[in-house]
Amino acid sequence: SQKIEQNSEALNIQEGKTATLTCNYTNYSPAYLQWYRQDPGRGPVFLLLIRENEKEKRKERLKVTFDTTLKQSLFHITASQPADSATYLCAPTDSWGKFQFGAGTQVVVTP
Amino acid sequence: DGGITQSPKYLFRKEGQNVTLSCEQNLNHDAMYWYRQDPGQGLRLIYYSQIVNDFQKGDIAEGYSVSREKKESFPLTVTSAQKNPTAFYLCASSRQSYGYTFGSGTRLTVV
């Protein structure tokens, strides 16, 4: 069965450092991979998408990589700020647009 | 401002009761979705609708029902057949197969 793994332990990081989150998937052949941010008690917010033929995608302080050989996506938050504290969800998506969400990784940025 | 409105924010249900969660969008999106989120788990798809008067079961449809009489509205009924309804319910809409827009959620508790 399809499986998505994100670090279940919270990532505690100091302000200004780079946070790196991992999304691993098995029994999937995603055409692209989405990343969302979710704050407590709120719905997820779409951040960005990376396609299978793209190695890297950037948006402001966010950087995503996608390695289809390793079946893995890495999500980086550079120069992290306390406002970046949230849970980040990945969603590998097939060519039909069908996807599942990972359980998410909580990021805590301390001043 | 365009968006998705879910109501109520908090809902309490007695054993054996049916309750209906409201979801309204003014984004002119064709597709709408209902997800359930439990602590430590990813979002799980309950039902989705690609067009008015048509909807499909998701991964965990048992004990739930929906209707799509208008493009803007996609209410979810949690029936008494749902054995473990306490959860955070999220409604989403989209124009394409990625970049979903989510509402703020309804937290349902069985009392």
Q: Which residues, in sequence order, are bridge partners of residue A66?
A: A73
Q: Say if the Cβ atoms of B102 and A45 lie within 8 Å.
A: yes
pLDDT greater than 90 at residue A96 = no
- A92 lies within 8 A of chain B by CB: no
- Name residues whose C-beta falls within 8 Å of residue A54's C-beta, 6 or more positions apart in sequence: A66
Query: Model confidence at A111, in pLDDT bands (50, 70, 90)?
Result: very high
Q: What residues in B contact A93, CB-CB < 8 Å?
A: 97-98
Q: CA separation (Å) from B89 to A40, A91, B36, B78?
A: 13, 18, 5, 10
B95 contacts B30 by C-beta, under 8 angstroms:
yes
- E strand map for A1-111: 3-6, 11-14, 19-26, 32-38, 45-51, 56-59, 62-67, 72-77, 86-93, 105-110
What CA–CA distance (Å, rounded) separates B85 from A40? 20
CB contacts of A34 in chain B (<8 Å) are 98-99
| B73-to-A81, A88, B46, B58, B76 alpha-carbon distances in Å | 37, 28, 16, 18, 10
Decide if A73 contacts A90 (C-beta within 8 A).
yes
Using an 8 Å CB-CB cutoff, list chain A residues near B91: 43
Provide the shortest C-alpha distance from residue B89 to chain A (in Å): 9
Q: Chain B contact for A89, CB < 8 A? A: yes
Per DSSP, the three-state class of A7 is coil
For A96, name the nearest residue in chain B, comparing CA atoms only.
Answer: B97
**Average pLDDT across chain A, whole number:** 94
CATH number of A3-110: 2.60.40.10
Between A98 and B36, name the one with better pLDDT.
B36
Confidence of residue A73 (pLDDT cuts 50, 70, 90): very high
pLDDT at B64: 97
State how far the Cα of A55 lies from the Cα of B44, in Å rounded to an integer: 28
Residues B57, B76 contacting (CB under 8 angstroms): no
Block residue for tokens 């289809």: A68
> Which parts of chain B have pLDDT scores under 50?
none
User: Is the minimum CB–CB distance between A96 and chain B shorter than 8 Å?
Assistant: yes
Q: Which of A42, A43, A46 sits opposite B99 (nearest CB)?
A: A46
Of A41, A42, A103, the CB nearest to B42: A103
Q: In the prediction, which pLDDT does B1 show?
A: 58
CB environment A25-62: b (16+ within 10 A), e (fewer): beebebbbbbbbbbeeebbbebbbbbeeeeeebeeeeb
Q: What is the mean pLDDT of residues A38-44?
A: 94
pLDDT of residue B41: 81
Alpha-carbon gap, residue B87 to B106, rounded angstroms: 8
Q: Which of residues 27-46 of A touch B (CB under 8 A)?
A: 32, 34, 41-46
For chain A, the domains span: 3-110
Stretch A1-19: mean pLDDT:
93
- Which chain A residue's Cα is nearest to B10? A41
Instruction: Give the closest-approach CA distance of A52 to chain B in angstroms.
Output: 14
- With H, G, I as helix, E, B as strand and everything else as coil, classify residue A2: coil
Least reliable range by pLDDT among A26-30, A102-106, B26-30: A26-30
> Could you tell me what percent of chain A has a pLDDT over 90?
85
